[in-house]
Each structure stands twice: as structure tokens, then as C-alpha cells.
């Protein structure tokens, strides 16, 4: 049956299954997988030495609208995972930072992502897994040529 399915449907099924597994892991922390992904982006940018992280940075990275990111950040702030304070460079923006509760969380997210990928690739050889990663990277480059 998978051989006759349209490629887009295969990707959609994989996305839903992957997200479901990540949601299960995020639920243990009281988060959704989307909230965890945004939190991971903040944590990763901080670890990379980014001086100030603004909402529009996260919107671009996560490919979500301004209203959607506003709600995500409000939820993360109410749960104590991020702080949103006026930017020191431009008062029109808010600087977003991780709290002690979430500092370095990008490492946990990477580990969880790897666990789920390992589960999905359990019948693949190491060489096949590397090929899969390379092909997906190339597909992503073609999908977003910027």
C-alpha cells in the first residue's frame, strides 16, 4: 500500500506520527510539541550567543504567523518557560529569554527528536539512515530556495 500512495500523503502521515510521538514527550513537561519547538529555538539561539531574540525572529524560524506566535509566547510565559521584556535596543519589540526552568532545553529536544527518529528508522541500516538524512536535507533546500 505505501508504494501506491502519493508522496505528499506519505509525508503528511510521517509528520503526524512524528508530531504525535513528540507531543507525548512534550506532555510530560506540560507542553505541546509546537510550544516545545519554539522553546527549543529560543534556547538554541541563546546558546549560539544571540544578544536579543525577538518574536519576529521566531516567526521566521518557525514559519508561523504573528498572532500564532503571540499566543505561543503568552502560554510559554504563563507556564514560566520564557520571559518577554521590552527590548533594550528598540522598545517596539520584546526580548524573549529562557527562564532557569528552560535554559538549555534545546539539548533535551535534540535527544527526544533523535529517539523518535531512531524509532522510525529501526529497520534501516546506518548507511540507509545517513542517505535518508542527506536526501531530506536536499529536499528542504529545494523547498525553501532562499
Which of 71, 90, 84, 86 is CA-nearest to residue 42?
84
Q: Which band of pLDDT confidence, cut at 50, 70 and 90, is reported for residue 93?
A: confident
The torsion defined by the Cα of 10, 11, 12 and 13, in degrees rounded to 10, comes to 50
Report the pLDDT value the prediction gives residue 146, as an integer from 0 to 100. Answer: 65
Residue 2 has pLDDT above 80, yes or no: no
Range of the domain at 130: 2-143
The neighbour count for residue 61, using CB atoms within 10 Å, is: 16
Residue 96 has pLDDT above 90, yes or no: yes
Q: State the CATH number of the domain containing residue 99.
A: 1.10.10.10
Secondary structure class of 99 (helix, strand, coil): coil
Closest CA to 23 of 38, 34, 12: 34
How much is the pLDDT for 76?
A: 96
Amino acid at each position: 500500500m505505501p508504494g501506491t500512495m502519493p508522496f505528499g500523503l506519505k509525508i503528511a502521515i510521517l509528520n503526524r506520527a512524528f508530531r504525535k510521538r513528540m507531543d507525548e514527550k512534550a506532555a510530560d513537561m506540560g507542553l505541546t510539541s509546537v510550544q516545545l519547538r519554539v522553546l527549543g529555538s529560543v534556547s538554541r539561539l541563546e546558546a549560539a550567543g544571540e544578544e536579543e531574540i525577538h518574536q519576529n525572529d521566531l516567526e521566521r524560524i518557525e514559519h508561523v504567523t504573528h498572532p500564532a506566535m503571540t499566543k505561543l509566547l503568552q502560554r510559554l510565559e504563563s507556564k514560566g518557560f520564557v520571559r518577554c521584556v521590552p527590548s533594550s535596543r528598540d522598545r517596539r519589540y520584546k526580548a524573549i529569554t529562557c527562564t532557569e526552568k528552560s535554559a538549555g532545553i534545546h539539548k533535551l529536544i535534540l535527544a527526544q527528536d533523535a529517539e523518535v527518529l531512531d524509532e522510525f528508522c529501526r529497520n534501516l541500516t546506518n548507511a540507509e539512515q545517513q542517505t535518508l538524512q542527506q536526501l531530506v536535507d536536499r529536499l528542504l533546500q529545494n523547498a525553501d530556495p532562499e
